[in-house]
Structure formats: structure tokens, C-alpha cells
Amino acid sequence: MHPPPDFGPRKARAAYVARRLEELYPETPIPLDHQDPYTLLVAVLLSAQCTDKRVNLVTPHLWAVADNPAAMARVSVAEIQAIIRPCGLSPRKAKAISGLSRLLIERHGGAVPRTFAELEELPGVGHKTASVVMSQAFGVPAFPVDTHIHRLAQRWKLTSGRNVEQTERDLKKLFAPGTWNQLHLRMIFYGRGHCTARGCDGTVCEICRTLFPGRKRMARTGK
């Protein structure tokens, strides 16, 4: 593929990124193994500061004990914590899993709600987790921004945001809503495989070199 010669405008860079990522990742499988919105919600909660690979190793043991809100509500926090300990932050995550399971029964008839506001009212569920569930479980356009996406968006100068909230707003302006759900996964895949925190400083990977062939210094990224 021969990219256009001028990547100066932000929209031109965004268009190239979208095209190249679609070529590299035509399929966008959801990285976290799950069976339904509830198991996805719990898996996403467990993935905080933990790799998807490790979550996928742990969740089968958790689902063997309880894979729905009613069953999980009957499991003690201590037992949940013992199972999910390899994922890290287990005291907080176990308490959140127990609490959100009870609230799903009490407020939502045991079903995972389909709105951002209701999801974000659940224990341990922030905007990013809610965005993942809305996009991957319900197909609602959302652009969850994790550290991979935040870093890439800065390196590719798609945002000047100093935090994930601003980066999310900027990316939503650059890309059509119909592309968000797949694009955020493609950016994660690329960030993990080619433009890692240690493997690329904004001058090494294919997309960084294509967008900024004259870049001599590392691209600084904020949190």
C-alpha cells in the first residue's frame, strides 16, 4: 500500500491509521473469553491492571462456581477473592463482583443494563468498563480508551489530550461512530503487537515511521 504523501492534517493521519489497521486486523475478535453480557462485564472488571491472557486463565474457574448474578451473589467474597487472586487487586475486585451481582438482581432483574449511566452505577464499573460492555456486548458505538489507545493516539498526534477522557473525545470526533467498536480493538491489537511502551518510542513501528518519517526524537506520551 502506498500512503498519501502528506500526513500533516490530523484527519489525514486518522484516515491512514483506520485504513492500515483494517488491513492488518480485518477480524476483531473480543480478547476476553465470555458467554454473555454478565460474564463479559466480570471479565472486563478483572482485566484492570491485568493481562487478558491471565483473565482468560482465571475466569473458567470462576464460572465453574458461578456464571450468573444469582449464583455469584451466593458466593462469599472470600471465595471469589481466592479464585481471582492471580488477576491482582483481588480484595477490591472480589467485593465489586459480589456487589454488582447483588445490584443486578435487586435493580435490573438479574440482567446487565444497557445504558452507560446504569452500568457506571455498579460497583467497580467505570466509564471505560461500561464502554467495553456497551460496545462488545450490545453493539452500541463506544470508544473505550485504555493505556494502549491513549499512548498510540498521542504518538500519532490524533489527540493533544493529557488524559484518557480528552483522548476519547478527540478520537470520537475524528472517526465515524460506525467504526468505533472495531477500531478501538484494532488499536489495542496494534499497540500490543507493534507499538508497545518499550518496543516503540514513536520512531520504530510501521505506522509511527510512516506518519512521521522525519521524526528524530521520541514522542513523549502523558498518562
Among candidates 208, 188, 218, which has minimal Cα distance to 31? 188
Q: Based on the residue annotation, tell me whether 33 is a catalytic residue of this protein.
A: no
Q: Based on the residue annotation, tell me whether 146 is a catalytic residue of this protein.
A: yes
Q: Which of 33, 52, 67, 146 is catalytic?
A: 146
From the CB of residue 162, how many other CB atoms can be counted at a distance below 10 Å? 13
All three cell numbers of 102: 447483588
Among candidates 50, 15, 52, 56, which has minimal Cα distance to 158? 15
List the catalytic residues: 128, 146
